[in-house]
Amino acid sequence: MKWTSRGRSQNLEDRRSARPRIRLPGQTAGAGIPLPRGRGSGISVGSIVLLLVVMWLLGVDPMELLGALSGGATGGGSVQVPIGPGGFPDGAEVAPGGNVRTTPQEEELVDFVSFVLDDVQSVWQRELPGYADAKLVLFRDWVESACGFAQAAMGPFYCPSDQKVYIDLGFYEELRQRFGAPGDFAQAYVLAHEIGHHVQRLTGIEERVRRAQRSSPGAANALSVRMELQADCYAGVWAHSTARRDLLEAGDLEEGLQAAAAVGDDRIQRMSAGRVAPESFTHGSSKQRMAWFQTGFESGDPGACDTFSAPAR
């Protein structure tokens, strides 16, 4: 993709240097115990040791924590220690702190996502009267959003509550190595898709879908698929504009399509579980995601992205 650095976007919020810490009740800002870094889900040995220390500081017998982690009490009269979202004790607050080194290559990537962020939103400013910019939050490993505490293993996401997109830049390496979708336009597709969710928030689509999901739980997955496919189509609308402005290079469109296919539910399920369960899809199949990205790219018209009226496939 043809691009030039324009400096950091005013909509970029860089939290890469924030190392989350567990701050206990009553502790002042800046205090607390730093969380261990590292990707993956579940509680590691290091995390268990950390939790034991936290429980000791909270005045709880560490043996009770071990009983809680194993799913039972350690002895008569013991109580389980409640573990909240993210695997940390209830009552402990996650707060930022610490510093992380970077590299020239990573800083160039930051310049690139900053360029894409501004470019995508400039297109929506023209397409959608009254469009209000979303913020992009860069983080590492862990992040606190208005939608809750999240780990990098979740992948990029949009939080409608604070209207921010969150991404750990390490995801792009995973996209290239694990999912086989290299290239800068594959990276741009991911960000354009998340901004598509912001468009849905501003236009009221996201709220209507959530309301419908609550009233019809059995249709929740199908509605989620349609919303995700629409965001793919919106990403294609932006890609159409880059082609018209001669920003595309040979192979860019293929990179975007390959990225859309790489994160299809069927492909991810086959990689992780060895089988495909269409009834559990929440984002759409590889074929569907490619098709709707292509629809947006060929039409350049957000009106062509009405996935909710399209027949189920």
Q: What is the pLDDT of residue 92?
A: 41
| Separation of alpha carbons 98 and 10, rounded Å | 23
Residue 194 sits in the same domain as residue 298: yes
pTM here?
A: 0.78
Closest among 171, 139, 146, 109 to 15, alpha carbons compared: 139
On the question of pLDDT at 82 being above 80, the answer is: no
Phi-psi region of 137 (alpha: psi -120 to 50; beta: other; left: phi over 0): beta
Helix axes of 184-203 and 104-127: crossing angle, nearest 10 degrees = 40
| pLDDT band with cut points at 50, 70 and 90 for residue 18 | confident
Q: What is the pLDDT of residue 149?
A: 87
Contact in structure between 35 and 22 (CB atoms under 8 Å): yes
Report pLDDT digits (tens) over 95-112. 444 555 789 999 999 999
| Separation of alpha carbons 210 and 223, rounded Å | 9
Residue 190 sits in the same domain as residue 84: no
Specify the number of domains making up the chain.
Answer: 2
φ, ψ (nearest 5 deg) of residue 121: -75, -30
Q: What is the pLDDT of residue 77?
A: 36
Average of per-residue pLDDT values in the chain = 82
3 residue type, one letter? W
39: containing domain: 21-95
On whether residue 91 sits in a domain, the answer given is yes
Report pLDDT digits (tens) over 126-145. 999 999 999 999 999 989 99
Residue 158 sits in the same domain as residue 175: yes
What's the whole-number mean pLDDT along residues 44-48?
49
On the question of pLDDT at 67 being above 50, the answer is: no
| pLDDT band with cut points at 50, 70 and 90 for residue 58 | low
* Domain closes at, from 74, 95, 116: 95
On whether residue 121 sits in a domain, the answer given is yes
36 vs 216 pLDDT, higher one? 216
On the question of pLDDT at 43 being above 70, the answer is: no
Residue 45 sits in the same domain as residue 122: no
Q: What is the pLDDT of residue 86?
A: 45
Q: What is the pLDDT of residue 83?
A: 43
Q: What is the pLDDT of residue 246?
A: 97
The listed range with the strongest mean pLDDT (9-18, 27-36, 185-194) is 185-194
Q: What is the pLDDT of residue 70?
A: 40
Percent of the chain scoring above 90 in pLDDT:
66
Q: What is the pLDDT of residue 19?
A: 60
Least confident window among 43-47, 187-191, 296-300: 43-47
Q: What is the pLDDT of residue 270?
A: 93
What's the whole-number mean pLDDT along residues 154-165?
96
* Domain closes at, from 95, 126, 159: 95
Report pLDDT digits (tens) over 233-288. 999 999 999 999 999 999 999 999 999 999 999 999 999 889 999 999 999 999 99
- Structure tokens that stand for 281 in this block: 């899809």
> Which parts of the chain fold into alpha helices (H)?
45-57, 62-69, 104-127, 170-177, 184-203, 205-215, 220-244, 252-262, 265-273, 286-299
Q: What is the pLDDT of residue 95?
A: 44
Report pLDDT digits (tens) over 172-230. 999 999 999 999 999 999 999 999 999 999 999 999 999 999 999 999 999 999 999 99
Residue 25 sits in the same domain as residue 112: no
Residue 35 sits in the same domain as residue 159: no
* Domain closes at, from 95, 114, 133: 95
